[in-house]
Amino acid sequence: MWPIGTPFGGNVPRPAPFMRPRRIIRDLTGLPAVLGRFGPFEIRLATTKQEIRKAQRLRFHVFYEEGNATPQQGTALMRRDICPFDNFCDHLLVIDREARNRFGRNKPKVVGTYRLLRRDVAERNLGFYSQREFDIAPLLARHADKRFLELGRSCVHPKYRSKRAIELLWRGLWIYAKHHRIDVLIGCASLPGINPLALALPLSFLHHQASAAEEWSVRPLADRIEMAILDKNAVDSRRGIAALPPLLKAYLRVGARFGDGAVIDAQFGTTDVFTIMPLADIEERYISYYGGPMEMPESFVA
């Protein structure tokens, strides 16, 4: 449960509901909430319950209304993608500060989000989300000294789905990872659809061109889907890349590698692959592609 905040004491009256301060529910361990700005956009970490709810509403719109996910009753009623892991993960947000509501008034809007789960936080709570589908215990044991960060629930509002939005998310992610001295990025990445034959080209491309080395490899827990559906000689690299969702293309661009086998996520209507990105291997490519100038908040300038 989230902390209830400092109680009101003595005879001091509670402020009216519209005056009540937003509850701070995240300790950012030395990071400022705002990680950067670029034009009308702000990259920040959620610090309040309200901000996390906005991220959940965006996820509901993308995964359930636009996508093929099947909502549970509570999710459908509240129109939010609610998950127990949200209670202890950090939430990276891209906000359009110049967005307007239907009355033409300025109303900043969450247009992109990433959910971030560090290894130390996972071990104190429910573990990693990806452990529901993939056997990552051997990977963690082989690299017991490394700091892992799991990426999940990534999405961008359809009106903002451009190279710029993904760049902003990744710039914020880079600042967060560096602050926490992360060694490895991991997570489940999804391809739309649950028919492996329809996804034969992208799955085969990932297997033949971007498989992880054995020391980083991860396999599904059960019901493993073979990724090498097509022979290597039958896979055209350009067509293989073109068949990937934007997020997977972004991962490949910085040198990501993928586990051995895929898993069907029936609730979300996707086929999931496991992604591994050791930061030491991707740093130079990451900086060259995503490391352009960005306005930093004064509190974060050294």
Q: Please name which of 216, 214, 192 lies closest in space to residue 202, comparing C-alpha atoms.
A: 192
Q: What is the pLDDT of residue 68?
A: 85
Paired strand residues for 15: none
**In sequence order, what E strands does 24-183 have?**
34-38, 41-45, 90-96, 109-118, 134-135, 148-156
Query: Structural domain of residue 59, as residue ranges?
Result: 23-295
pLDDT above 50 (res 256): yes
Whether 18 has a pLDDT exceeding 70, the answer reads no
In terms of C-beta density within 10 A (0-12 exposed, 13-18 middle, 19 or more buried), how is residue 291 classed?
middle
DSSP character at residue 24: B
Q: How many CA atoms lie within 13 A of 60 on its CB side?
A: 19
- 10 Å Cβ neighbour count for 8? 10
Residue 173 φ/ψ, nearest 5 degrees? -60, -40
User: How far apart, in whole angstroms, are the C-alpha atoms of residue 3 and residue 293?
Assistant: 37
SS3 206: helix
Range 12-22 average pLDDT: 42
Query: Distance between CA 283 and CA 199 in Å, rounded?
Result: 30
> pLDDT at residue 14 above 50?
no
Q: Do 203 and 240 form a contact (C-beta atoms < 8 A)? A: no
Interatomic CA distance for residues 62 and 74, integer angstroms: 17
Q: What is the pLDDT of residues 33-85, one digit of tens each?
A: 999 888 899 999 999 999 999 999 999 999 999 988 998 877 888 999 999 99
Q: How many helices (H) and strands (E) does the chain have?
A: 9, 11
Residue 209 included in any domain: yes
* Structural domain contains residue 65: yes
- pLDDT tier for residue 282 given thresholds of 50, 70 and 90: confident
How many CB atoms are located within 10 Å of the residue 298 CB?
A: 7
**14 belongs to a structural domain:** no
CA dist 177 and 22 (Å) reads: 27
Distance CA 227, CA 210 (A): 11
Total domains, the chain: 1
Q: Which helix (H) or strand (E) holds 276?
A: strand 270-278
Per the domain annotation, does 9 fall within a domain?
Answer: no
Q: For residue 13, tell me if it sits in a domain.
A: no
Give residue 142's pLDDT: 97
Alpha-carbon distance of 298 to 96, in angstroms, equals: 20
Specify if 8 maps to a domain.
no
Identify the pLDDT of residue 24: 65
Express each pLDDT in 93-137 by its tens digit.
999 999 888 888 898 999 999 999 999 999 999 999 999 999 999
Tell me the pLDDT tens digit for each residue of 208-255.
999 999 999 999 998 899 999 999 999 999 999 999 998 899 889 888
Q: Does residue 225 lie in a domain region?
A: yes
The answer to the question of residue 7 being in a domain is no
Element (H, E) at 270: strand 270-278
Question: Which CATH number do you get for residue 81?
Answer: 3.40.630.30
How many other C-beta atoms lie within 10 A of the C-beta of residue 253? 16
Query: According to the model, what pLDDT value does residue 164 have?
Result: 78
Q: What are phi and psi of 253, to 5 degrees?
A: -60, -30
The C-alpha R_g of the chain, in whole angstroms, comes to: 20
